[in-house]
Every structure is written in structure tokens, then in C-alpha cells.
Amino acid sequence: MPFNHTSKNSDLTDKQFELVGKLLLEFSNLDYLIGILLNRLLITPEYLGLTYNDQLTVMKKIIAIENAIELHKHRYDYRIIREQTLNDLTELVQKVKGIKTLRNKFAHNLWSRWTDDKIFGTKLSGKLINHKSPNRDSITITNLELKKHYEQAYELVEKANNLLDIIPTFEENIELIKRTIK
């Protein structure tokens, strides 16, 4: 039986569920926005790009963004996107990696209330404890830490939206779409 169904005392509090939900919602926003940022870097119309990057994990999108940033720096010499904007995007994706790691713990661990102010997650793996990193397969996190992670994720969504305002978009040319190949 999953941890948070074991007993009434192990169920997360409503506040804990709320904080986890807020954090995961912001991660979903980041996942989508990372895909749109990738489209912009690849100079691809939004919907065409989404058909491709919807199939990618967040990490693969981030790797593609990092590669595209290098191309914009070295091949295009900042002619399409300014250096500061690319630096801001690099900083954003590094922070998204941290949120992704925490998100994965929520997706793949079993969770239980430790106290009303702290939750505990574990993989309940059958393997022996790795004494060099004994907490690798478990985590405790306070409500305050959850709130801080949520606020950081919220800020990252705002930064991603700000970058989308700066990075040029490749508009679909309706005349080109209407055109037929003869």
C-alpha cells in the first residue's frame, strides 16, 4: 500500500498537498515554455516546433537549447539573439534542471507526512543502502522548503515568459502556407 494511504497520520496535510501541487503545476508550465523557447532558438514556427518537441523530455529539450545557444554564439555571432539574452536563457535552463530533479522525486517516490510541517519521500528500493550517499533514494522536505521551491519555479516561469518577449518569433507566412507546389 502506498505510504500516504497507510494511515490517517501518514496522509499529507491539505497544505502539503497544495504546495506539492503548486510546484508540479509550475513545472508543467516550465516544460511547455522550454519547448517554445527551443522553437524560437531553432527559428521554427510554434505549432510546427511543438509537433517535434512534444515528444521530448524536458532534459532533451534543455540539451537541445544548450546546443542551440552555442550555435547562436559561435555560428551566428549573436546576430539573431543578443549575448545577454542567451546568457539569461542559459541561467534559466540551469535552474530548471534543479526543479526537474525535485519534480522527478515527487513523480517517482512514495510520500508520507513526517510531521505537519515536513514530508518524507522514498523509492522503497530493494537494493542495499549506498553508504557514500545514504539519502540518495529518500528525501525529507519541509513545507517552507516546498514553498521556496514553488516560488522559485513561479519566478522561472516569469523569466521564461520575459525571454519569449525578447527572442524573435518565426511567424508563419499565411501566403506561403496557402501556396501549392506545382
Supply the pLDDT for residue 2: 55
Give the sheet arrangement for strand 138-142, strand by strand. 110-115, 118-122, 138-142
Query: Is 134 part of any domain?
Result: yes
Name the helix (H) or strand (E) containing 140: strand 138-142
Domain count across the chain: 1
**Confidence (pLDDT) at 1:** 44
| Alpha-carbon 31 to chain mean position | 5
Per-residue pLDDT of the chain (182 residues; tens, 9 = 90+): 456 666 677 899 999 999 999 999 999 999 999 999 999 999 998 888 989 888 999 999 999 999 999 999 999 999 999 999 999 999 999 999 999 999 999 988 989 999 999 999 988 766 656 667 656 778 899 999 999 999 999 999 999 999 999 999 887 776 556 665 55
Q: What angle do CA 63, 67, 71 make, to 5 degrees?
A: 165
In a domain, 141, yes or no: yes
Tell me if 148 is assigned to some domain: yes
Give the C-alpha separation, 158 to 171, whole Å: 23
Inside any domain, residue 149: yes
DSSP for 85-127 reads: HHHHHHHHHHHHHHHHHHHHHHHHSEEEEEETTEEEEE---SS
Q: 138: which 3 cell numbers?
A: 529518500
For residue 144, the enclosing domain spans 12-173
2: which 3 cell numbers? 502506498
Residue 4 belongs to a domain: no
Is residue 7 included in any domain, yes or no?
no
pTM (two decimals): 0.86
How many whole angstroms separate alpha carbon 72 and alpha carbon 41?
8
178 in a structural domain: no
Q: DSSP string covering 60-83, please?
A: HHHHHHHHHHHHHHHTSTTSSS-H
**Alpha-carbon gap, residue 71 to 26, rounded angstroms:** 29
Dihedrals phi, psi of 43, to nearest 5 degrees: 50, 55
- Give the pLDDT confidence score for residue 172 in this predicted structure: 74
Tell me whether residue 2 is in a domain: no
Cross-strand bridge partners of residue 139: 121
Cβ neighbours around 28 below 10 Å, total? 13
